[in-house]
Structure formats: C-alpha cells, structure tokens
Amino acid sequence: MDRRVLWLAVLGLGVASTARAGVHNMSGCGLGSMVFKDNSKGEQILAATTNGLFGNQTFGISSETLGCTKDGMVRSEKRREVYAEVNLQKLSQEMAQGRGQYLDGFAALSGCRGQAARESFARFAQSRYERLFASEETDAAALLRNVDRELASDAALTKACS
C-alpha cells in the first residue's frame, strides 16, 4: 500500500511539474515531450510519466534544452507553433478578413512589433490567403511553412517582422 501511495505521489509531482512548462504538447518540456509529441491523452500521460520518472525537466530548464527555457516558457518559435495549432480555425477566418485579435496575436508572435507592422502583416495574410491556406487540409505546420515562404518574398514585411 505504501509503495502505491509513494508511486502516485511521484507521478503526481511529475505531472504537476510538467503542466507549468507548456511546450508544444500539454505535458511540458523535457525528454518525454520530445519522444511523445502527439497531444493524445495516452501520449501526454507517457510524456509526463517519462519526465517525472527520469527527472529531466530540471536539466532541460537549466540547460535550455529538451524544449525548455530557464523561465519555463516556450521558445518563441514554439510559441508561434502552439498558437497556430490552438487557434488555426480563428486564424483562417481572420486571415481571410484581414483583421482580428487572433491574427494580431499571430503577427506579434511572428515578430511584427508595433501596430503598423501588425496591420501590414494582416493585409499580407489577406492578400495571400489562398497560398497560406492552400487546401482544406492545411494544418498548423503547413500554415507556418506557407507564412514563412510567403514572408521571404516580401522584403519590407520581412524587415518589419523580424
């Protein structure tokens, strides 16, 4: 009985410590999230368990490896990736319209500083919508690749959003 309680406590601490780090999946940063990348419940549990059992998050945070940073926040490219995945439907709608709070947030995460740069990004997204969302199956990863490819062809916006 005592071993089960200890095991559950260790597992609970592992899960609790991973929840705050917030990487591209919900298990947090660490070896577990690098090995188990899917957001399915089963893979998140395996990732959190791996992180808890091997205690690798502390190393990852202190060395800024395994998807971790010292402050427990996701690196900027991962923030944009997570944001696009979580808000893909809203981004699609707002990019088609050329305005909106989700699009403004995505522009900021893409490095567009200042209102003028974010508004330019919104116009850019609207004018290139068909290329950004090339098909109904466009997922967040494809959107990011498409945005980066299209941004590379716009020197002024690339400079404003770097």
Q: What pLDDT sits at residue 41?
A: 72
Give, in order, the Cα–Cα distances in Å from 134 to each of 66, 102, 106, 147, 151: 32, 20, 18, 11, 15
Decide if 59 contacts 20 (C-beta within 8 A).
Answer: no
pLDDT at site 101: 94
Verify that 17 and 85 share a domain, yes or no.
Answer: no
Whether residues 139 and 80 share a domain: the answer is yes
Burial of 138 (0-12, 13-18, 19+ CB in 10 A): middle
Do residues 103 and 161 make contact, with C-beta atoms less than 8 angstroms apart? Answer: no
Pair of tokens at residue 18: 């991973």
Instruction: For residue 117, give its domain range.
Output: 76-160
Does 81 share its domain with 141? yes
Tell me if 127 is assigned to some domain: yes
Same structural domain, 82 and 39: no
pLDDT at 24: 47
In a domain, residue 134? The reply is yes
pLDDT tens-digit map of 55-77: 776 667 656 677 776 555 556 67
What parts of the chain have a pLDDT lower than 70?
Answer: 1-27, 39, 57-59, 61-64, 69-76
pLDDT at 33 (0 to 100): 74
- The verdict on residue 25 lying in a domain is yes
Last residue of a domain, one of 63, 85, 116: 63
Please name the amino acid found at residue 28: G
Q: What is the average pLDDT score of the chain?
A: 78
Residue 71 lies in a domain: no
Q: Is 43 found in the same domain as 7?
A: yes
Position 151 scores a pLDDT of 92
62 contacts: CB under 8 Å, gap ≥ 6: 70
Give the per-residue pLDDT at 72: 52
Q: Do 30 and 105 have their domain in common?
A: no
The per-residue pLDDT for 23 is 40
103 and 156 assigned to the same domain:
yes
- Indicate if 84 and 142 belong to the same structural domain: yes
CA dist., res. 98 & res. 123, Å (int): 5
Total number of domains constituting the chain: 2
Q: Which of 21, 37, 63 is the last residue of a domain?
A: 63
Write out the two tokens for 62: 């202190």
Together in a domain, 55 and 85: no
Long-range contacts of residues 74-81, Cβ cutoff 8 Å, at least 24 apart: 74/21, 74/22, 74/23, 74/24, 74/29, 76/109, 78/23, 78/24, 79/109, 80/106, 80/109, 80/110, 80/144, 81/24, 81/140, 81/141, 81/144
